[in-house]
Chains A and B, each alone.
Chain A
Amino acid sequence: MVEIPSGSIPSAEVEDVELYHPHSWWTKYVFSQDAKIIAVQYSITAISIGLVALVLSWLMRIQLAFPGALSFIDADHYYQFITMHGMIMVIYLLTALFLGGFGNYLIPLMVGARDMVFPYANMLSYWIYLLAVLILAAGFFAPGGPTGAGWTLYPPQSVLSGTPGGKDWGILLMLSSLIVFIIGFTMGGLNYVVTVLQGRARGMTLMRMPLTVWGIFTATVMALLAFPALFVACVMMLFDRVLGTSFFMPAIVEMGTQLQHGGGSPILFQHLFWFFGHPEVYIVALPAFGIVSDLISTHARKNIFGYRMMVWAIVIIGALSFVVWAHHMYVSGMNPAFGFFFATTTLIIAVPTAIKVYNWVLTLWRGDIHLTLPMLFALAFIVTFVNGGLTGLFLGNVVVDVPLSDTMFVVAHFHMVMGVAPILVIFGAIYHWYPKVTGRMLNEVLGQIHFWITFLGTYAIFFPMHYLGLLGVPRRYFEMGETAFVPPSAHTLNIFITVMALVVGAGQMVFLFNLVWSLFRGREAGGNPWRATTLEWQTPQTPPAHGNWGKDLPVVYRWAYDYSVPGAAEDFIPQNVPASDGITREVPA
């Protein structure tokens, strides 16, 4: 155990810091280099494009439940909607919001830095991300519309004429947008990593960082390693489509015509895609794991159980997630012997993941549970994540995956585990940190309405959907038509799911209204409304000013989880309060 006598910590006082202070409205709110403003810009952009994805999901669900009810939804449009919905949610909403939004806001504040280490690159990161979003959205207005290749963009169909946008602008815009996104993300991602490694306040050792920072940090490292695989795949596919190369294109007869391709490998694309795509699941999940740990600890007034185990679990999950990618490809036609290896690694990853779940519920055990909105969302996250994680054991176990692969079971599983679960954390996190960002609390009644609709609604959508997959209903079907093994009752279930989806979508309007209304009418929050220990709640101003800390940087004397310490006057001790006995330990013994 590292024991640091507090007296030997040098003063953190610095004369002045080299920060670029904005001089006009324009540089303060638009081309801002303040990570907090950039975080808000990222969040607003991500939520805006996410709303487009929400509407697309409504349209898909209406088609599935009431085929032909909306005459403008033909097969082309349906496939364009599922593609754009998937890609927006995974990349442009979840990745951007967790890393660009929460990462930017929370990393500097939680580690006690004045800002990100490269503020200018950080600003560029946002504007390049915005450009990527605009290129993506341009697909809706381009001739032929956006690509309808499915979010996995598997060639050869993604660049052929049987797929919407395959021979038009759609696929070109999608690939270009992803390439631009990755460039922008890399600038932001390097910032988050270097800030965590180099920008921490005195006393903030790595093993004292809040799990939120550990989650975002690990996810960012993973993203920096995983996105290049997608980048390469996108560039190669662009070459195949524009220059006529054959990276992914074997000899093909398309609708009776021999194409001028040959020698390429469609399955190579799948390996590259999932080498990115599987870590991507954890790029979204790890920040959620970290954030939810802090929400549970703060609102249960209890230290997170097994902090060091939680840190190692995050790191181990991050590392293992790079050797499981081909579990998305059990029935892809790859060498079947791979199945042994990838099934084993995939099920091994269940162990550190389960440890995280145990530690969350053990944090509740003997806690002092305040059922605040962030806590409610955290509880809902655990239910949803446990459900979605457990169905992952079906799909990860190679032979069980065979009948379930490409069915609605998969759709239900990944929506549960990487759609709904992380989004519940995002909501919890917004209810938790909104007071710090704006100085006002979100409305409690509106929040309760939003919570119950979202939690119960999404469970009602995705839990029964597994059983459609078990029955054998394939995913990505524009219409099921007459199929002997699908009973009429399955269609009734489809209608139920669609109605729930419409309700849940409408429920989000309550949340949006709350965000705007509370900005002006919300109760004044004060600096630390949740009586939390982490540094972002100890800033001299709320919302924090540029530079975060005023004249003096904080000095950290303890871990992030000193809640309900025996003998302490309050049920929380902030990280920057010195220990009474003058001895500070990394993690209390």
Chain B
Amino acid sequence: MAVVLILVLIVVGSVLFHVLSPWWWTPIASNWTYIDSTLVITFWITGIVFVAVVSFMAYCVFRFRHKPGNKAHYEPENRRLEVLLASGTAVGVAAMLAPGLIVWNQFITVPADAASVEVVSQQWLWSFRLPGADGKLGRAETRDVTPENPLGLDKNDASGLDDVIIEGGELHLPIGKPVHILLRSVDVLHDFYVPEFRAKMDMIPGMITYFWFTPTRTGTFEILCAELCGVGHPQMRGTVVVDSDADYQTWLGQQQTFTQLTASSGELPPTN
């Protein structure tokens, strides 16, 4: 009987824990409320299945536990029941998968008006690059990284000269405008992760990865690294600030372009 009681307690306890838990996702600060909704659908479906299966087990143990003289029923197969259960499961799975895939399609389809922002990672620092006045990010290569050119911009690409470079500082984003986050690493795998934005993506040396989102609430958010990148992994933090448009423009005006940066470090950019 202790077994029955504890199985019931596990069901009740798990549901209560879920309802009363103070540990829940952070208040969302991006457009990805659909991700949260899909997660809630999944909680409902899986929660019902969990409660049903464990309760049924508890009932079986209660009702069919051994007593002298008991004999089990002999029934090798029941094709109808098996087909019924399999179909029911398939329906439940489809109910989770379908919205999931629809939202995934949105997740990987970057809107045409999204502004590009590059995030560059290294052990254990975040840097950022904005396209500058021409709206285009210049070419960059890991091979071109030097102490004076930490993000490895191609000095022969004119579209890079006006790029705004933020090395190790805060990234600011304007509220309500979709951003196309381009991710690049110069050493090992990292992962740009801001819990409030829900989105995250690994950064891979030699590749450019991406995701997109629209900030929906102003505030200061912590950037964490979510892919093990060596002993400094937990200390690899950064800050992203979502500003009103006016505040954003003020901040942008204070940042240095690639040209200014190389000039201040004593090296003149090429004049082509």
A residues bordering B, Cβ < 8 Å?
A: 75-76, 79, 148-150, 154, 156-157, 160, 162-164, 166, 250-256, 258, 262, 264-267, 300-303, 305-309, 331-333, 336-337, 339-340, 343-344, 347-348, 350-351, 354-355, 357-359, 361-362, 364-371, 376, 379, 382-383, 386-387, 390-391, 393-394, 397-400, 402-403, 405-407, 456, 459, 463-464, 467-468, 470-472, 474, 476-481, 483-485, 487, 489-490, 493, 561, 563-566, 571, 587-589
Contact = CB atoms under 8 A, between A and B. Distances in A.
Nearest to A308: B77
B71 to A, nearest CB: 5
23 contacts: A157-B188, A162-B230, A162-B231, A164-B231, A251-B143, A252-B187, A266-B204, A303-B74, A303-B75, A354-B85, A361-B56, A361-B57, A369-B66, A376-B3, A386-B49, A393-B45, A394-B39, A398-B101, A399-B38, A464-B17, A476-B228, A485-B195, A565-B74
B74 A368 contact: no
A3 to B, nearest CB: 15
A307 B183 contact: no
Contact of B231 (A75, A154, A250): A75
Contacts of B134: none
B206 A481 contact: no
Contacts of A394: 39, 42, 46
A252 B231 contact: no
B75 to A, nearest CB: 7
Given A351-B93, A587-B77, A366 B189 contact: no
Nearest to B1: A371
A264 B188 CA distance: 13
Interface of B: 3, 6-7, 10, 14, 17, 21-26, 32, 34-35, 38-39, 42, 45-46, 49-50, 53-54, 56-57, 60-61, 64-66, 70-78, 81-82, 85-86, 89-90, 93, 96-97, 100-101, 103-105, 107-108, 122-123, 141-143, 145, 147, 152, 183, 186-189, 191, 193, 195-196, 198-207, 209, 222, 224-235
Contacts of A370: 66
Contacts of A485: 26, 195-196, 222
Nearest to A406: B226
B235 A481 contact: yes
B189 A386 contact: no
- 10 shortest A-B CB distances, which residue pairs? A250-B206, A162-B230, A472-B195, A333-B209, A366-B73, A302-B72, A157-B188, A390-B46, A364-B60, A564-B72
Given A309-B82, A400-B39, A253 B187 contact: yes
Given A331-B201, A351-B89, A162 B232 contact: yes
Contact of A484 (B71, B189, B222): B222
Contacts of A303: 74-76
Contacts of B97: 343-344, 347, 397
A302 B77 CA distance: 12
Contact of A157 (B46, B71, B230, B235): B230
Contact of B72 (A300, A336, A477): A300
Contact of B93 (A252, A254, A350): A350
Nearest to A162: B230
Nearest to B152: A253
A459 B231 contact: no
Contact of B100 (A331, A399, A407, A474): A399
B142 A368 contact: no
A578 B26 CA distance: 65
Contacts of B74: 302-303, 563-566
Q: Which of B23, B45, B205: most chain A CB closer than 10 A? A: B23
A370 B97 CA distance: 39
A558 to B, nearest CB: 11
B57 A382 contact: yes
B26 A397 contact: no
Contacts of A398: 100-101, 104
